Each structure stands twice: as structure tokens, then as C-alpha cells.
């Protein structure tokens, strides 16, 4: 029998209280999906996660009362002088889209006369109901901060500042108070720990016995992911963590292997193509509009039709919640539901009488959600409204970063002109592991010194210089192409993402399965509208070769909002995922380098 191997493991785990080969108990794994509007959190053994608004309200020290303005529905990007004109043109294009598609009977619908509706609705008087809304204002006598729903229902006169640590899919960093990275991380720590203790009933002292699966957006910022892992392992003291992307986990939750993921959230819309557990980097695209913009569009359409709700103030969280409820209750994308119909809308404010409005409305209920296909209707302008995955900016704690790997790979290939222009294979991870395993006793200090020597020795050959110039030119072309991207509708973004895939076979796979997740597009008829729009615009050669096109909006009869969270819970319990855990003691020694080794996606 050969003697046992004496080679040291790449990352020793001698202090780990649970042996890696032992199966993980789902009840000891907490799955966290931090969103712009909702935080979904729960044990991997739970059927459903706890869903709370991802916000915190802190006591403001200044004594004079000043009503704060929430940049949630009324955004800075839609406050430009041409906003109203842009919205009108956008709504006109949505109306043209509505008229271009026939109903089930083969007829084309007619637009409802909003001017006539406006005359009637302006004469309608609100009715004060005898019923009082059961929702009460949060009592602020005992605490200095509140999270979740309690924070949403704090009376503005009580002097609390409402903050959202994540905005449009990334950290809410700004130049005002509470907008620094440190402040955002402090808010995240308070919100997450409070929800875990109050809803999952896990005391803070027991966090060290639990592991966490952290879901991150498809397009992520490297230093923000590192900061969240640091928060979970060092600040909150969890035993270990797995980091994975929402799109890939959505395929796990839906039980599909290949799909184009359409994630329409409250404040952003993300599209990417996933094949066999890998999110293709070139296909990822995020646009900064979502369900809240549909709500603002609905508000504009209602005012155009003479339906004004003075009680709903969009500068307050309660008014925004009322508008969201009206959207969810009345909006649809059913092409066959048309004509003028009576609507009774109720305005419910905490501890006040319910107010009823009897209105007549027509196409407003379908035009607002259809604006997702014509985002000009949102009246947005700005250079940051569309994003793609950027390269890692580099980290001093990660000497073997992307630049180092690219140069090492180029040298190992002898500077051939045919060297791959991007590091999109598992070879990058193999190079990292080979480089790190040869270091003396895995000394981090020695690693930094050796990497400096390695970088100095990477003098490219003449062929390598030509290859480097070619790669730089191609990267510049890609950056220029990305900078020229304009805000697209959901259907156009799907086409753009799929066409970024390599090979016609992969593209056909993506066209054959569109998986819609998130809550921003969960309207009746959305499935057929998305299918119709993509089918009419896709290349002819794929349309001819395509057998079926499945648009999945309720995978396994599950709420589409929970698909990613459920997939992460499944991932945590798989035997093949045990090598992905990043343990607390390892993180303290090797830090962000572990993400390059353990993350199940190209870091």
C-alpha cells in the first residue's frame, strides 16, 4: 500500500468544526438574497423564505421636521426638461404596439378615448368609507432604528430617515449622508442580523454554527461582493459562505439546464444566458428600470385620464405602496381584455378612513406594463441606465488577479497570435491553483513577493506583443460597443443577449427556453406578449429551425420571485457543492483569493 500523501492542501481546514465530507444539514444553512426592494432570507430547509422590505429607518438627530423625498418612484433620471415630451412619445409607441397585435378572434382592437374618460373621472367625487384602515403607524418610542415593514410605516413627523442599502441592483452609494460604503455595509449588517434573529429565531451568538449561501446579481461589482463576504464571515461570524449568481440559481430552482433568464425586478431588469450552470459573461446585460417604473407610468396614465389621488403622495413610502397595490390589482397584459370598464379603487392610509374612487378606465391598465417593451415611456435619460459586466479593477489582496492570469496564459502559449482574447475557461482557475500550490507553505506574504517577481519576469515576446495589441484593440472595440448601447425593451434585450452566444446551436437552445423571474413582469398575459415579441423579431434561420419556444413564468407552479432563492437552497444541499464553501478561518488568512478559487463562476 502506498504511503499517505504528505502534500499540504491548498487551503487547510483543520479548525473547521464540521468535516468537509459530512453532509450539510439544510436547517443550518441560511440563504440570503438581497434585492433592491425586497430581502428574501430563510433556512435552506424552509419551503418559503421570509420576504421583507430591504430598508432601515434610523432616528435623525436634527429636531426641525423636514419631509424627506424618496427617489424611488420619482427618479432623478426623469426630472429633465424633456421628460414629459419623451413620455408622451413613448406612450404613443406603446399604443402602436398594442394596435399591431390581433386578438384571439383575429380582430385589431381600438384605443379607448382617454379625453372622454378624463371628463367623467374629473367629476367623480371620492367617497369616505366608514371603515378605518387596519394598518397602524409604527410606534417609535422604544427603538432608535427599525427595519422592514416597521420602517416603511413610520410617520414622517417622527423624525426617522428611511434608507435603502441597495438601489437598482448595486450598493446605494451617493454623496449625501449615509451614502458611503461603510454606511451601506453598516445598514446591511443591521438589517440582516435583525431579520435573522427576529424571523428565523437564531440568536447572534449562534451564527457561528450556521452557513450562508449569498446570492449576487448577474452583473456584480467585485469589491462589493468581497465586502459582503467580509461582512458575513468576520462581522456577523458565520461559519462559511457560498457565493453564487441569481441567474444560475434560478435555473436550479426551475429545474432547467439551459435558458435565457429574464429577471424583471422592482428597479432593474437583467438578461443573461445560462448553459449547464454557467452564466455567459458576454450575454449579461442590466437595465435600470423595473416594476417601480411601471408604477410611475401608471400614475402618469391615470392623471391623463383624469384620475388623481391627492392622498397618495409619492414622496412618502405609504403613498408609493398604495400605487404599487393599485398596479398589482388592476394592471394586466391581456390583449383580449379591452374597452372602457368601471373600476373602484381604494386608498388605504394607516389609521385613516378608507377612500373610494369610482372611475372609468380603458387601456391604461395594459399600456403601463407594456411600457417594459418601450422603455422610452419611463422618461429616463442618463449614461448609466444600461450596464454590462466590467473587468475586476484589481485588489491588493489578490496578486493573481485577472491581469496576472492573462499575462501568464499569454506567456505559456509562447505569444501566439491565436491566443484567446478572454479568460473564459476553467484554465484560468487551473493556472491560479497551480501558481498558488507552488508557494512556500502558502504564506500570504511570500505570495505577494513572488507575484511581484513573476510580474517582472513576464516580458512578452514579439509575437506576444502583437497578440497583446490585438487583444487591447478588440477590448477597446467591445468597450465602445457597450458605451453605444441604448436603453432597450425587454424583448430587444433578450434578442441582444442571445445573439451574444457562441454558435447557432447554443442560440437555438436559448430561444427555445425563456425563464422569467422576479416580480416586475408578473402580469396576466405577459407570457404570450414576450413570446410574441421575441418570435416576431428573432432571426429567420432560428425561427425556422426552432421546434418550440417555452416562456416559463411560473416554474414548477412556484412564485417566480422565489425561483433564485429556491435554487440556492437546493445548491446548498448538493454533494458537489461542498468544495465551494469558504470558511471563516480560511477567509481571514487568504481573503479575496478564495473567491477566485471557490466561486462557481469566473471571478
Residue 603 CA to residue 600 CA, distance in Å, equals 8
Instruction: Write down the pLDDT at residue 391.
Output: 81
Helix (H), strand (E), coil (C) string for 219-282? CCCHHHHHHHHHHHHHHCCCCEEEEEEHHHHHHHHHCCCEEEEEEECCCCEEEEEEECCEECHH
Instruction: Write down the pLDDT at residue 16.
Output: 47
Other C-beta atoms closer than 10 Å to the C-beta of 92 total 13
Instruction: Write down the pLDDT at residue 156.
Output: 83
Residue 261 CA to residue 424 CA, distance in Å, equals 20
pLDDT above 70: residue 482: no
Return phi, psi of residue 111, to 5°. Answer: -75, 145
What DSSP designation does 561 have?
A: G
Residue 17 CA to residue 289 CA, distance in Å, equals 45
- Give yes or no for a contact between 110 and 296, defined as CB atoms under 8 angstroms apart: no
The mean pLDDT value for 95-123 works out to 93
What DSSP designation does 174 have?
A: -
Q: What is the total residue count of the chain? A: 603
The mean pLDDT value for 11-28 works out to 61
pLDDT above 60: residue 310: yes
Give the residue, 472 or 362, on which the prediction is more confident. Answer: 362
Instruction: Write down the pLDDT at residue 473.
Output: 54
Q: pLDDT-based confidence at 479, cuts 50/70/90?
A: low
Q: What is the DSSP string of 421-457?
A: SS--STHHHHHHHHHHHTSGGG-HHHHHHHHHHHHHH
Q: pLDDT-based confidence at 403, cuts 50/70/90?
A: confident
pLDDT in tens, 566-575: 999 999 988 8
pLDDT in tens, 128-152: 999 999 999 999 987 889 999 999 9
Residue 221 CA to residue 392 CA, distance in Å, equals 8
Instruction: Write down the pLDDT at residue 468.
Output: 54
Q: Chain-wide mean pLDDT for the chain?
A: 85
Q: Is the pTM of this model over 0.75?
A: yes
Q: pLDDT-based confidence at 478, cuts 50/70/90?
A: low
- Give yes or no for a contact between 51 and 40, defined as CB atoms under 8 angstroms apart: yes
The mean pLDDT value for 39-52 works out to 96
| DSSP element (H, E) containing 171 | strand 170-171
Q: Are strands 240-245 and 582-583 parallel, antiparallel or unpaired?
A: antiparallel
**Percent of the chain with pLDDT strictly greater than 70:** 82
Instruction: Write down the pLDDT at residue 511.
Output: 96
The mean pLDDT value for 155-160 works out to 87
The mean pLDDT value for 64-84 works out to 73
Q: What is the DSSP string of 99-123?
A: HHS--TTS-------HHHHHHHHHH
Instruction: Write down the pLDDT at residue 475.
Output: 55
Instruction: Write down the pLDDT at residue 323.
Output: 92
Between 95-109, 395-409, 496-510, the lowest mean confidence (pLDDT) is in 395-409
The mean pLDDT value for 389-406 works out to 78
Residue 43 CA to residue 458 CA, distance in Å, equals 47
Residue 17 CA to residue 584 CA, distance in Å, equals 11
Instruction: Write down the pLDDT at residue 603.
Output: 85
pLDDT in tens, 526-585: 999 999 999 999 999 999 888 889 999 999 889 999 999 999 999 998 888 889 999 999
**Secondary structure (3-state) at 3:** coil
The candidate with the shortest Cα–Cα distance to 370, out of 521, 222, 231, 583, is 521
- Give yes or no for a contact between 55 and 147, defined as CB atoms under 8 angstroms apart: yes
Instruction: Write down the pLDDT at residue 379.
Output: 94
- Give yes or no for a contact between 181 and 207, defined as CB atoms under 8 angstroms apart: no
Q: Are strands 550-552 and 513-517 parallel, antiparallel or unpaired?
A: parallel
Q: Report the C-alpha dihedral over residues 277, 278, 284, 289, rounded to 10 degrees.
A: 20
pLDDT above 70: residue 85: yes
pLDDT in tens, 222-260: 999 999 999 999 999 999 999 999 999 999 999 999 999
Instruction: Write down the pLDDT at residue 55.
Output: 95
Q: Give the domains, in start order, of the chain with CATH numbers.
A: 76-137+291-378 (3.90.640.10)
Instruction: Write down the pLDDT at residue 451.
Output: 42
Q: Report the C-alpha dihedral over residues 165, 170, 174, 179, rounded to 10 degrees.
A: 30
Instruction: Write down the pLDDT at residue 62.
Output: 64
Q: What is the DSSP string of 144-161?
A: SEEETHHHHT--GGG-EE
Q: pLDDT-based confidence at 383, cuts 50/70/90?
A: confident
Between 68-77, 83-92, 112-121, 185-194, the lowest mean confidence (pLDDT) is in 68-77
Instruction: Write down the pLDDT at residue 434.
Output: 40
**Percent of the chain with pLDDT strictly greater than 90:** 65
What DSSP designation does 363 have?
A: T
Instruction: Write down the pLDDT at residue 472.
Output: 55
Amino acid at each position: 500500500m502506498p504511503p499517505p500523501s504528505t502534500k499540504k492542501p491548498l487551503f487547510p481546514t483543520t479548525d473547521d468544526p464540521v468535516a468537509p465530507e459530512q453532509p450539510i444539514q439544510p436547517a443550518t444553512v441560511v440563504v440570503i438574497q438581497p434585492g433592491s426592494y425586497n430581502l428574501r432570507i430563510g433556512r435552506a430547509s424552509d419551503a418559503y423564505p421570509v420576504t421583507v422590505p430591504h430598508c432601515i429607518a434610523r432616528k435623525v438627530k436634527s429636531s426641525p421636521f423636514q419631509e424627506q423625498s424618496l427617489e424611488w418612484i420619482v427618479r432623478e433620471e426623469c426630472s429633465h426638461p424633456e421628460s414629459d415630451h419623451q413620455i408622451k412619445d413613448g406612450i404613443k409607441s406603446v399604443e402602436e404596439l398594442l394596435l399591431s397585435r390581433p386578438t384571439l378572434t383575429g380582430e385589431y382592437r381600438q384605443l379607448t378615448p382617454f379625453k372622454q374618460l378624463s371628463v367623467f373621472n374629473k367629476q367623480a367625487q371620492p367617497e369616505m368609507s366608514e371603515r378605518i384602515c387596519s394598518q397602524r403607524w409604527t410606534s417609535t418610542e422604544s427603538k432608535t432604528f427599525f427595519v422592514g415593514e416597521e420602517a416603511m410605516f413610520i410617520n414622517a413627523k417622527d423624525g426617522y430617515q428611511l434608507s435603502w442599502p441597495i438601489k437598482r441592483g448595486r450598493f446605494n452609494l451617493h454623496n449625501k449622508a449615509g451614502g458611503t460604503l461603510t454606511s451601506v455595509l453598516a445598514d446591511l449588517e443591521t438589517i440582516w442580523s435583525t431579520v435573522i434573529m427576529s424571523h428565523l429565531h437564531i440568536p447572534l451568538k449562534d451564527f457561528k454554527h450556521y452557513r450562508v449561501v449569498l446570492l449576487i446579481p448577474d452583473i456584480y461589482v467585485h469589491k462589493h461582493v468581497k465586502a459582503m463576504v467580509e461582512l458575513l464571515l468576520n462581522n456577523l461570524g458565520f461559519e462559511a459562505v457560498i457565493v453564487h449568481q441569481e441567474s444560475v440559481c434560478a435555473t436550479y430552482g426551475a429545474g432547467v439546464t439551459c435558458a435565457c433568464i429574464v429577471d424583471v425586478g422592482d428597479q432593474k431588469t437583467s438578461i443573461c444566458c445560462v448553459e449547464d450552470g454557467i452564466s455567459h459573461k458576454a450575454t449579461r446585460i442590466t437595465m435600470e428600470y423595473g416594476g417601480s417604473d411601471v408604477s410611475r407610468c401608471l400614475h402618469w396614465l391615470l392623471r391623463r385620464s383624469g384620475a388623481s389621488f391627492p392622498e397618495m403622495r409619492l414622496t412618502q413610502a405609504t403613498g408609493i405602496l398604495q400605487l404599487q397595490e393599485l398596479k398589482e390589482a388592476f394592471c394586466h397584459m391581456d390583449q383580449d381584455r379591452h374597452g372602457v370598464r368601471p373600476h373602484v379603487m381604494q386608498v388605504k392610509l394607516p389609521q385613516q378612513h378608507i377612500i373610494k374612487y369610482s372611475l372609468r378606465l380603458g387601456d391604461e391598465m395594459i399600456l403601463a406594463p407594456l411600457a417594459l417593451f418601450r422603455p422610452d415611456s419611463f422618461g429616463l435619460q442618463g449614461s448609466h441606465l444600461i450596464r454590462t459586466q466590467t473587468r475586476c479593477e484589481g485588489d491588493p489582496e489578490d496578486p493573481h488577479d485577472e491581469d496576472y492570469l492573462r499575462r501568464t496564459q499569454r506567456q505559456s502559449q509562447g505569444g501566439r497570435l491565436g491566443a484567446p482574447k478572454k479568460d473564459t475557461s476553467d484554465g484560468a482557475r487551473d493556472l491560479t491553483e497551480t501558481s498558488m500550490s507552488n508557494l512556500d507553505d502558502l504564506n500570504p506574504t511570500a505570495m505577494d513577493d513572488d507575484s511581484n517577481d513573476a510580474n517582472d519576469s513576464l516580458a512578452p515576446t514579439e509575437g506576444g506583443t502583437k497578440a497583446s495589441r490585438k487583444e487591447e484593440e478588440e477590448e477597446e472595440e467591445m468597450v465602445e460597443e457597450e458605451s453605444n448601447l441604448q436603453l432597450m425593451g425587454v424583448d430587444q434585450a433578450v434578442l441582444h443577449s442571445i445573439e451574444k452566444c457562441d454558435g447557432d446551436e447554443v442560440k437555438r437552445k436559448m430561444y427555445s427556453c425563456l425563464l422569467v423571474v422576479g416580480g416586475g413582469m408578473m402580469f396576466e398575459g405577459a407570457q404570450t406578449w414576450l413570446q410574441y415579441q421575441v418570435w416576431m423579431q428573432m432571426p429567420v434561420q432560428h425561427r425556422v429551425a426552432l421546434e418550440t419556444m417555452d416562456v416559463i413564468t411560473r416554474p414548477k407552479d412556484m412564485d417566480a420571485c422565489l425561483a433564485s432563492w429556491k435554487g440556492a437552497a437546493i445548491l446548498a444541499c448538493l454533494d458537489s457543492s461542498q468544495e465551494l464553501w469558504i470558511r471563516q478561518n480560511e477567509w481571514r488568512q487568504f481573503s479575496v483569493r478564495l473567491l477566485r478559487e471557490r466561486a462557481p463562476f469566473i471571478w
